[in-house]
Amino acid sequence: MMTAEFGSFALTLALACAIAQLMLSTAARIRRSTVLAAAGEGAALAAFAGVAIAFASLIYAFVTSDFSVANVAANSHTEKPLLYKVAGAWGSHEGSMLLWCLILTGYGAASATLGGGLPRGLKALMVATQGALGSVFLAYTVFASNPLMRIATPPVEGRSLNPLLQDPALAIHPPFLYAGYVGMSVVFSLAVAALIEGRVDAAWARWVRPWALAAWSFLTVGITLGAFWAYYELGWGGWWFWDPVENASFMPWLVATALLHSAIVTEKRGALAGWSLFLALGAFTFSMLGAFLVRSGVLTSVHAFAVDPTRGVLLLIILGLTSGSAFTLFAWRAPQLSPGGLFAPISRESALVLNNILLAAATATVLLGTLYPLIREALTGESISVGPPYFNATFTPLMAALAILLPAGPLLAWKRGDLRGVGQRLWIAAVIAVGCGLLAYALVSPKKALGCLGLALGVWLIGGAISELVERTRALRVPAADSWRRLVGLPRGAWGMTLAHLGLGVFVLGACFEIGWKGEAAEALSLGGSLDVGGYHLVLESVGPVDGPNFEAERGLIRATRDGKPVCTGEPERRFYPAGGQTTSEVAICYRGASHLYMVLGERRETMAGTPVWLVRAYWNPWATLIFLGPVIMAIGGLISLSDRRLRLGVARRAKAVAGEQPA
């Protein structure tokens, strides 16, 4: 079959198209030519088509187990289920870079097609910048990490994908994550274009918003899927480890969150234009930094994954080149931007600036914590560790401060706010929050002051979001029918914000409860043996062999009871994948409301008497569902906001057309 060659050819062609896109669109801006601009947009579409063909041929190679393609031989296996064969296409370094390019050119094509309302010059420059990014990453993929390379002597069987990665949540999470990372490229391109044009105004902020929202929502879903996967696949009950790789995905999210808020100020009040631009450039810079950190191996040098220092250097050069030139442009042009509208210390502007200061500090925390071991090693030659205790001591207080301030923000007026009015609207939420915290402190054992504080914060955020909704609908102050009309008539952007803030509250509630009152038990159990956790009594009833498609496993049957009444059964597995020689654990989770009873079957041992025993671990994770539900609500909020009429693409164009028809 020639599909791999065909794909390689299409990929090279896509590189040529991306270069053409850069040159045609730049020329279009210089000569102010609509013909050249259209040609540049056409090249953007062609680049996307080329990468799409290359990607399809890679998936085809994986599905047909074509082991003459080096990447397939290294990452696939004939016995692997179809889903994981397809997911194998982005399971390796080379394949994931191709996915990155696919999404990058996809966004390029989308922004070329949908950006109809933008001024011509700005649009041409945006398409040109997208083309420049596409050229750099496609060149990297074609010349340094082509996933479609053949090998001279194909093996009979592939080396298979790491079994830990053979999981539905993990298989689908990279596309979401990358749609988030790379979505920031459009924001980046818009910022570069605005800097070159020298104009950043309310309209610019409005164009940036939908792209930033879309990317942010995707990133939120991607990170949550990843955390959920870690939660049930790694088998030790945690969901966030402050690992450098997690941090790499978290930093662009924090910056994008800050951008979403500062862009509101730029849109409504014309202020913070320079800062919004800085964040717009920063979001994609952190995406690229993440790509570099994860692939170069600078932070995880001893690890089994094929990390390649030369590729790391190439990615670092790409990062330096693109971000370096963008920030140089920023340093040159930004001082000329107008400072925008005035505002008082107590105002929505101030609240949003505080939000940005805290988010920037949080990003700095994560960045320092991730990179400081490298810095220390370079400075003093000693290696140190920066682990979860550091982040708990720095990141958490910053976020707590943010959570305390958050509900007040949306209730403050622009320019000059009224703190007393805010107090009148929020005191009920404050009383409920403090009451819940105190009640939890009095009732829940063991007593955890910090856990109760977190709980109160979660309730405060949720109460704040609801208070905000009450305020907008004037509920209880005007007739119910009136309130209802107001509620239905709320713009989707308002709903989006309320949901996002509510989701954060749900997350904080779940995270604090889970961290504070998690229960853990582990025993070596023979058949019929039992252990107790979180008020549940767990009995290991039986253990039997299981024959999987590409693994062999032992499956336990654990019966859980509470106060003598049967509650549920769990069937955790311990799997052995012969292809890679790895052992993994499939946990069993018994959902009890929002809480989880989490069961793990460990290794088999023998007692002195020769009877077999299994190491069984169980966790009681109270309210753990909320940890994953919260971010999902946030992402839904983002998507609803995205569908707001104000942001819907093409609205500007239609409005212009209507205005044009009317006699002056």
Partner 1 sequence: MTARSLLAALAGVICIAAAADPAERLADPHQEARARAIFADVRCLVCQNESIDDSEAELAGDLRRAVREQVRAGRSDAQIKRFLTDRYGEFVLLTPAFSWVNLALWGGPFLVVLAGGGLLASRLRNRAAEAELSPEEANRVRRLAESDSA
Q: Which one among 385, 445, 488, 659 touches partner 1, defined by CB under 8 A?
A: 385
Piece in contact with partner 1 (CB under 8 A), picked from 39-47, 363-371, 450-458, 540-548: 363-371
Q: Which one among 521, 567, 568, 632 touches partner 1, defined by CB under 8 A?
A: 521
According to DSSP, the β-strands at 536-547 and 530-533 are antiparallel
Question: According to CB under 8 A, which residues from 124 to 143 bind partner 1?
Answer: none
Nearer to partner 1, 177 or 429 (CB): 177
Residue 75 C-beta: closest distance to partner 1, Å: 10
Provide φ and ψ at 543, rounded to 5°: -135, 130
Q: Which one among 203, 364, 557, 632 touches partner 1, defined by CB under 8 A?
A: 364
Which tokens hold the place of 314? 């190439």
Nearer to partner 1, 369 or 463 (CB): 369
> Considering CB under 8 A, how many residues would be counted as binding partner 1?
85
- E strand or H helix that includes residue 522: strand 519-525
d(CA 200, CA 193): 10
HEC profile of 353-370:
HHHHHHHHHHHHHHHHHH
Question: According to CB under 8 A, which residues from 273 to 302 bind partner 1?
Answer: 290, 294-295, 300, 302
Piece in contact with partner 1 (CB under 8 A), picked from 8-16, 33-41, 85-93, 109-117: 85-93
Site string for partner 1, 601-620 (x = CB under 8 A): -x------------x-x---
Q: Which one among 118, 600, 633, 649 touches partner 1, defined by CB under 8 A?
A: 600
Question: According to CB under 8 A, which residues from 215 to 234 bind partner 1?
Answer: 226, 229-230, 233-234
Question: According to CB under 8 A, which residues from 14 to 53 bind partner 1?
Answer: none
Q: Which one among 106, 174, 274, 407 touches partner 1, defined by CB under 8 A?
A: 174
Nearer to partner 1, 384 or 438 (CB): 384
Site membership for partner 1, residue 356 (CB under 8 A) = yes
Residue 658 falls in which region: left (phi positive, over 0), alpha (psi -120 to 50) or beta? alpha
Nearer to partner 1, 393 or 480 (CB): 393
Q: Which one among 151, 317, 430, 524 touches partner 1, defined by CB under 8 A?
A: 524
Question: According to CB under 8 A, which residues from 91 to 110 bind partner 1?
Answer: 91-93, 96
* Cβ burial 599-629 (10 Å sphere, 16+ → b, else e): bbbbeeeeeeeeeebbebbbbbbbbbbbbbb
Nearer to partner 1, 354 or 487 (CB): 354
Residue 387 C-beta: closest distance to partner 1, Å: 3
**8 A C-beta contact, residue 160 and residue 84:** no
Site membership for partner 1, residue 345 (CB under 8 A) = yes
Contact residues for 163 (Cβ-Cβ < 8 A; gap 6+): 551, 575, 577, 580, 582, 584
One-letter amino acid for residue 10 of the chain: A
Instruction: Say whether the peptide bond before residue 446 is cis (omega within 30 degrees of 0).
Output: yes
Piece in contact with partner 1 (CB under 8 A), picked from 47-55, 61-69, 142-150, 241-249: 241-249
Site membership for partner 1, residue 83 (CB under 8 A) = no
Q: Which one among 152, 156, 335, 380 touches partner 1, defined by CB under 8 A?
A: 380
**8 A C-beta contact, residue 174 and residue 96:** yes
d(CA 271, CA 356): 13
Instruction: Give the count of alpha carbons within 13 A of 210, CB side only.
Output: 19
Piece in contact with partner 1 (CB under 8 A), picked from 29-37, 84-92, 542-550, 624-632: 84-92
**8 A C-beta contact, residue 91 and residue 99:** no
Site membership for partner 1, residue 583 (CB under 8 A) = yes
Which tokens hold the place of 136? 């750099």
Nearest to 573 by CA among 587, 560, 561: 587
Site membership for partner 1, residue 159 (CB under 8 A) = no
Question: According to CB under 8 A, which residues from 393 to 422 bind partner 1?
Answer: 393-395, 398
According to DSSP, the β-strands at 612-621 and 595-606 are antiparallel
Find where tokens 């945690």 sit. 238
- Compute the C-alpha angle 218/131/190, nearest 5°: 60
Site membership for partner 1, residue 86 (CB under 8 A) = no
Site membership for partner 1, residue 384 (CB under 8 A) = yes
